[in-house]
């Protein structure tokens, strides 16, 4: 069409010449002549057939998409199309609406056969680039109402038609379609352009009003939704705060059924938690009745709402009155349900990490239809309740365990007190009589064997008395009631008191005892007897586990704000896997030939910690051990 040598170009030039003569003959105004000339130039540039352009129709799927996209336009235009067709029925008009691309969306007026002949049925393309100059297509291209009379059409096939078209705009000025009223030249009139433009304007106003109404409705719906969301958030926050204040699982369940019951407008509610029996449930909270009805453990009956909720792991509603009555009389007996005309049961599971903790059941009068937002809200509240139940159940278990432990400690202390009292009295008598016998036999040379027996009695009594003292010390340490009387002391005096006894025992086994305490060492704040007890325990162990001919060393040094005391031996050492348990009460090394109670090091640790110090051990098997502890300075 763009090639001037083609037959189509020749026809187009001839039509241009004839149309120019036609315009001069009619003496039309120049703007209209310019508008049609522009349309012809666009049609020529688009290679439109100047004789009979092809009637192109889009496929049904594409048409369906366009109809859906332009549904508001079609809905607004149809009444006006029928009105125009009725008004101009004497002219046998074809009235149709196209979308912004010129695709026919709907048409009325002429017979279907004529509409099909002229391509005016939905789906046909009447854009200017496809059909040349025409009412709807040119109105869209020129963005103004147009009247195309007879030979003003680019294609000669439409020389006997008069087409009046007007664009239809969205509120922002975008062209969303056009209306076209076409009649024959004999019955057509360009004066109808005002009518068509008015129809287009009316459609625009109706669309704008419809969209504005829809916008206001959307805003109102959004406002309501936001308000509901704020209200739901406030309810969730209130429930969360209330659950945080609960201390038992029953209190948590009671908070949940009251909050959710208010949302559901329930007449009654029950909360059940699992029992030790995996198939059992127990009532922990209720509302809506006096709560005096018996509630035995509920078996896993699939007909019962709470069991259904637990089985499915989601909210369950039983709206059928017959089904509800049959299940509910077994599930929730009481005056509330029987007094209702059409009860409905709503059950929610209490689950956490896939574990069933119990469930909540609500009795509602009338049909129960919960919208998704309410379902989500009550389900979230049930999840919060499950978390609170779990937390409080763990707290209750811990509280019971702590109470049992405290009771056990109390009973143990009571037993130790009784044992200490009952043993110390006869031991005191034994030790007193042994001392008297020892003094009496001191002058009898021939009775040395009696003196040995008395010494044996005395040693056994002292050992028993020390064992009792150790047991009482361990009990005091466990109960955090170990008493100390700290005062300033020279470290050298404390070490001297403790090493005196071990030196006597070391002589018979050829053990060397070395003491290294600097003379300028600052004084420490300590309970003298307790610190000597610690050193005696450490030195006693060193003496016990060091072979004959070995060495034992005691060294003291000034540290940062404290004094460190170290007891080193050349004994058998301690295995690495035993170091973490060496200070545990009653623990002794496996295969230990040196039998003991396992209390000495535990007591030593308790005494050092009571002074605010630290105690530790460094050892390797075959290389001896070094036990160290610290004491605070007297000036701190």
- Domain annotation covers residue 467: no
As a whole number of angstroms, the distance between CA 529 and CA 483 comes to 12
Would the pLDDT of 402 be above 60?
yes
DSSP codes of every residue in 117-180: HTT-STTBB--HHHH-S-HHHHHHHHTS-EEEEGGGSSSGGGTTEEEEEEEEE-TTS-EEEEEE
- Domain annotation covers residue 163: yes
Q: Which of 267, 235, 249, 297 is nearest to 362 (CA)?
A: 267
Question: Which of 99-103, 389-393, 438-442, 579-583 shows the lowest per-residue confidence on average (mean pLDDT)?
Answer: 438-442
* CATH code of the domain containing 620: 3.30.565.10
Averaged pLDDT for residues 514-522: 92
Residue 57 and residue 191 in one domain:
yes
Highest mean predicted confidence (pLDDT) among 271-285, 288-302, 312-326: 271-285
What was the pLDDT predicted at 187?
66
Mean per-residue pLDDT of the chain: 80
Question: Which of 32-46, 344-358, 372-386, 467-481 shows the lowest per-residue confidence on average (mean pLDDT)?
Answer: 467-481
Residue 210 and residue 77 in one domain:
yes
Dihedrals phi, psi of 107, to nearest 5 degrees: -150, 150
Q: Which residue has the higher pLDDT, 588 or 380?
A: 380
User: Of 371, 393, 415, which one is at a domain's C-terminal end?
Assistant: 393
- Domain annotation covers residue 479: no
The number of distinct structural domains making up the chain is: 3
As a whole number of angstroms, the distance between CA 495 and CA 536 comes to 9
Would the pLDDT of 77 be above 90?
yes
What was the pLDDT predicted at 173?
92
Residue 61 and residue 207 in one domain:
yes
Would the pLDDT of 467 be above 70?
no
User: Of 393, 411, 436, which one is at a domain's C-terminal end?
Assistant: 393
Do residues 216 and 223 make contact, with C-beta atoms less than 8 angstroms apart?
no
What was the pLDDT predicted at 297?
38
Q: Which residue has the higher pLDDT, 229 or 342?
A: 229
Tell me the pLDDT tens digit for each residue of 50-70. Answer: 888 888 999 999 999 999 999
- Domain annotation covers residue 6: no
Residue 167: strand pairing partners:
178
Tell me the pLDDT tens digit for each residue of 151-202. Answer: 888 888 888 888 999 999 999 999 999 999 998 877 667 678 889 999 999 9
- Domain annotation covers residue 9: no
* CATH code of the domain containing 182: 3.30.450.40
Residue 388 and residue 494 in one domain:
no
Would the pLDDT of 4 be above 50?
no
Residue 164 and residue 282 in one domain:
no
Residue 197 and residue 86 in one domain:
yes
Residue 209 and residue 264 in one domain:
no
What was the pLDDT predicted at 296?
38
What's the pTM value of the predicted model, to 2 decimals?
A: 0.48
pLDDT range class, residue 14, cuts 50, 70, 90: low
What was the pLDDT predicted at 602?
87
What was the pLDDT predicted at 358?
84
- Domain annotation covers residue 453: no
Would the pLDDT of 421 be above 70?
no
Using only the alpha carbons of the chain, give its radius of gyration.
52
pLDDT range class, residue 597, cuts 50, 70, 90: low
Residue 191 and residue 272 in one domain:
no
How far lies 173's CA from each of 11, 100, 383, 508, in Å? 37, 12, 52, 116
Cα dihedral 264→270→271→276 (10° resolution): -150
Residue 199 and residue 251 in one domain:
no
At a CB cut-off of 8 Å and minimum separation 6, what does 385 contact?
Answer: 239, 243, 252, 253, 255, 256, 350, 360
Tell me the pLDDT tens digit for each residue of 611-631. Answer: 999 999 999 998 899 999 999
SS (H, E, C) 482-520: CCCCCEEECHHHHHHHHHHHHHHHHHCCCCEEEEECCCC
- Domain annotation covers residue 82: yes
Highest mean predicted confidence (pLDDT) among 266-275, 324-333, 386-395, 410-419: 386-395
What was the pLDDT predicted at 104?
96
Q: Which residue has the higher pLDDT, 419 or 131?
A: 131
Give the single-character DSSP code of 57: B
What was the pLDDT predicted at 131?
93
Averaged pLDDT for residues 280-291: 72
Residue 146 and residue 265 in one domain:
no
Q: Which residue has the higher pLDDT, 415 or 101?
A: 101
- Domain annotation covers residue 150: yes
Averaged pLDDT for residues 45-54: 86
Q: What range defines the domain where residue 385 resides?
A: 245-393
Give the single-character DSSP code of 2: -
**Residue 270, SS3?**
strand
- Two tokens, residue 616: 């530790």
Residue 257 and residue 158 in one domain:
no
What was the pLDDT predicted at 199?
95
Tell me the pLDDT tens digit for each residue of 109-166. Answer: 877 777 877 889 999 999 999 999 999 999 999 999 998 888 888 888 888 888 999 9
Do residues 630 and 564 make contact, with C-beta atoms less than 8 angstroms apart?
yes
Averaged pLDDT for residues 555-568: 94
Q: Which residue has the higher pLDDT, 4 or 419?
A: 419
Q: Which residue has the higher pLDDT, 179 or 394?
A: 179
Residue 503 and residue 611 in one domain:
yes
Would the pLDDT of 26 be above 60?
no
- Two tokens, residue 356: 């069933």
Highest mean predicted confidence (pLDDT) among 310-324, 407-421, 487-501: 487-501
């Amino acid at each position: 069409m763009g090639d001037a040598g083609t037959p189509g170009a020749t026809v187009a030039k001839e039509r241009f010449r004839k149309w120019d003569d036609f315009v001069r003959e009619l003496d039309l105004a120049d703007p209209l002549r310019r508008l049609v000339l522009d349309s012809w130039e666009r049609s020529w540039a688009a290679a439109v057939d100047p004789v009979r352009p092809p009637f192109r129709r889009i496929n049904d799927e594409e048409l369906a998409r366009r109809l859906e996209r332009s549904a508001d336009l079609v809905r607004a235009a149809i009444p006006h199309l029928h009105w125009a067709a009725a008004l101009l029925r004497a002219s046998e008009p074809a009235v149709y609406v196209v979308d912004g691309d010129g695709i026919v969306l709907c048409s009325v007026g002429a017979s279907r056969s004529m509409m099909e002949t002229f391509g005016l049925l939905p789906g046909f393309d009447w854009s200017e680039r496809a059909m040349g100059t025409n009412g709807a297509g040119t109105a869209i291209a020129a963005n103004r109402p147009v009247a195309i009379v007879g030979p003003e059409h680019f294609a000669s096939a439409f020389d006997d038609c008069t087409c009046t078209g007007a664009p239809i705009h969205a509120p922002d000025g975008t062209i969303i379609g056009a209306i076209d009223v076409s009649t024959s030249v004999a019955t057509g009139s360009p004066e109808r352009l005002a009518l068509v433009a008015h129809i287009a304007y009316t459609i625009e106003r109706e669309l704008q009003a419809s969209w504005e109404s829809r916008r206001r409705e959307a805003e109102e719906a959004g406002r309501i939704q936001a308000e509901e969301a704020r209200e739901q958030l406030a309810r969730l926050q209130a429930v969360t705060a209330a659950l945080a204040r609960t201390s038992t699982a029953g209190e948590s369940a009671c908070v949940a059924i009251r909050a959710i019951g208010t949302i559901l407008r329930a007449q009654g509610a029950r909360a059940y938690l699992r029992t030790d029996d995996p198939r059992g449930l127990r009532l922990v909270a209720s509302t809506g009745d006096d709560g005096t009805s018996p509630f035995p453990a509920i078996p896993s009956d699939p007909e019962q709402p709470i069991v259904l909720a637990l089985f499915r792991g989601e909210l369950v509603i039983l709206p059928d009155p017959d089904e509800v009555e049959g299940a509910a009389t077994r599930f929730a007996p009481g005056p509330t349900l029987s007094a209702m005309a059409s009860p409905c049961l709503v059950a929610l599971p209490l689950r956490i990490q896939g574990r069933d903790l119990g469930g909540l059941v609500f009795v509602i009068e009338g049909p129960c239809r919960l919208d998704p937002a309410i379902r989500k809200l009550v389900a979230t509240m049930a999840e919060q309740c499950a978390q609170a139940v779990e937390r409080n159940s763990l707290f209750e278990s811990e509280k019971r365990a702590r109470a049992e432990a405290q009771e056990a400690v109390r009973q143990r202390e009571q037993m130790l007190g009784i044992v200490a009292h009952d043993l110390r009295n006869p031991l005191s008598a034994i030790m007193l009589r042994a001392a008297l016998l020892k003094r009496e036999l001191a002058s009898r040379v021939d009775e040395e064997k009696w003196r040995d027996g008395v010494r044996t009695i005395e040693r056994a009594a002292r050992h028993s008395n020390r064992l009792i003292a150790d047991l009482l010390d361990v009990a005091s340490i466990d109960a955090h009631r170990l008493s100390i009387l700290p005062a300033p002391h020279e470290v050298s005096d404390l070490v001297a008191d403790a090493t005196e006894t071990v030196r006597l025992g070391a002589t018979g086994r050829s053990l060397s005892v070395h003491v290294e305490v600097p003379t300028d060492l600052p004084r420490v704040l300590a309970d003298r007897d307790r610190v000597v007890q610690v050193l005696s325990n450490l030195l006693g162990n060193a003496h016990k586990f060091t072979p004959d001919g070995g060495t034992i060393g005691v060294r003291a040094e000034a540290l940062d704000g404290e004094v460190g005391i170290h007891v080193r031996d050349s004994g058998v050492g301690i295995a690495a896997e035993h170091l973490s348990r060496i200070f545990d009460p009653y623990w002794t090394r496996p295969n230990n030939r040196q039998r003991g109670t396992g209390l000495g090091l535990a007591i030593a640790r308790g005494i050092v910690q009571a002074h605010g110090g630290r105690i530790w051990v460094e050892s390797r098997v075959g290389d001896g051990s070094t036990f160290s502890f610290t004491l605070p300075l007297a000036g701190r």
